[in-house]
Amino acid sequence: MSQHLMNTYGRLPVTFAKGEGVWLWDDQGTKYLDALSGIAVTGLGHSHPKFVQALNVQASTLMHVSNVYQIAEQEKLADQLAALSGMDKVFFCNSGCEANEALIKLARLYAHQQEIADPEIIVMDSAFHGRTMATLSATGSRKVQAGFEPLVQGFVRVPFDDLEAVKQVAGRKNNVVAVLVEPVQGEGGVQIPEDMNAYLKGLREVCDENGWLLMLDEVQSGIGRTGTWFAFQQSEVMPDAMALAKGLGSGVPIGACLAKGKAAEVFTPGKHGSTFGGNPFACAAGLATLEIITQEKLRENAQDIGAYINQALTDVFKGNEAIISVRNAGLMIGITLDRPCADLVKLALENQLLINVTAGNIIRLLPPMIMNKEEAQILVDKLVSVINEFLEKKD
């Protein structure tokens, strides 16, 4: 491996050379099943022919101009995202942390417009919002923050899926301006609120009573992965603002900050911007992604295949005390073990299966949204055999 890469990742010893559908091949020609999608990015699978075609057309027409000009592809993608989400306005950036950074700036600007000089945003335990200074400060993980002090001020932390804790903050602080929450926590270990509708509805009510913005980080859960375009659409609640990224460009970097009503009117020229954000190429990738998800009914598929995998794993591990729980929101699937299982990632790789472990003891699966039943069964069979091998080794 090159000695010229900064030491920011503990990388696995494999280099992929090509991909097709749910499959990847390394530079030795070995074939792997991809149950991670580059962490919820390549929802269309690899080398989707229609996606490749759309990128080819756009690359050979216009890649980049500047946001000092009007950009047709950006306008079209904003219109479509607004229609799908019910939000009013969109700001485009290039990643998830930038989308959240935009939410944080939006909330602060909104507060200052109301003469709140020291605004605070309520964030959650085990949340993940990114690696920039503001978003790592909003993140609920000491591992992500350690060494980067002083952190950005202006965040109040409460336990996830705990409405009472949020209400208590409302009782003791008058400078709160927003709640920022992932409807389903991803990095935090595929944590799904016990009753998502009740939780989001409760948050909506507290926000309305106190004049706060309800801001959702759907960077991982958005763009069809949980079975609806956005996870919040499985509730009766509309947020004031939302962050998107990961699946939106199917591998082409793009992020988006969406806002509704009064939140949509906060930014004015000069308050925020991005050189690359919303360029024709990235927006063409977003447009092609939305079109293919619709045409191929991939939201429905995410729902079906997610339920199928959950059921299959639940059946296999019934009565197995090492498996604490199996849960899913569409194709965000979490399996909690009774012991640390980071070693499973390498063991799975040796068995030509790509998975992830978060929060120490939680296996996270984020399969491509194009996965069919046969492929899902191969995933289940491979995973069960790898987990069993792991459990035998450690016992």
Ligand X SMILES: *Cc1c(COP(=O)(O)O)cnc(C)c1O
Question: Which residues here bind ligand X, judged by CB under 6 A?
Answer: 95-97, 100, 128-130, 182, 186-187, 217, 219-220, 245-246
4: exposed, middle or buried (Cβ count in 10 Å: 0-12, 13-18, 19+): exposed
Of 84 and 93, which has the nearer Cβ to ligand X? 93
Output the six-digit token pair for 169: 């903050």
Q: Which residues pair with 325 in a beta bridge?
A: 336
Of 327 and 382, which has the nearer Cβ to ligand X? 327
Enclosing H/E stretch for 59: helix 49-59
Of 85 and 95, which has the nearer Cβ to ligand X? 95
CB 310 within 8 A of CB 333: yes
Per DSSP, helices labelled H in 195-243 are 196-210
Going by C-alpha positions, the residue among 248, 219, 228 that lies closest to residue 99 is: 219
In angstroms, the CA 311 to CA 356 distance is 20
C-alpha 258 chain-centroid distance:
15
At closest approach, how far in Å is the CB of 130 from ligand X?
Answer: 4
Of 48 and 246, which has the nearer Cβ to ligand X? 246
Of 105 and 112, which has the nearer Cβ to ligand X? 105
Of 244 and 386, which has the nearer Cβ to ligand X? 244
At closest approach, how far in Å is the CB of 186 from ligand X?
Answer: 4
Which DSSP category does 228 fall into?
S
Tokens 């202006």 — which residue? 154
At closest approach, how far in Å is the CB of 377 from ligand X?
Answer: 27
Output the six-digit token pair for 174: 């008058």
At closest approach, how far in Å is the CB of 187 from ligand X?
Answer: 6
At closest approach, how far in Å is the CB of 123 from ligand X?
Answer: 11
At closest approach, how far in Å is the CB of 106 from ligand X?
Answer: 16
Residue whose C-beta lies closest to ligand X? 96
- Strand pairing class (176-181; 120-124): parallel
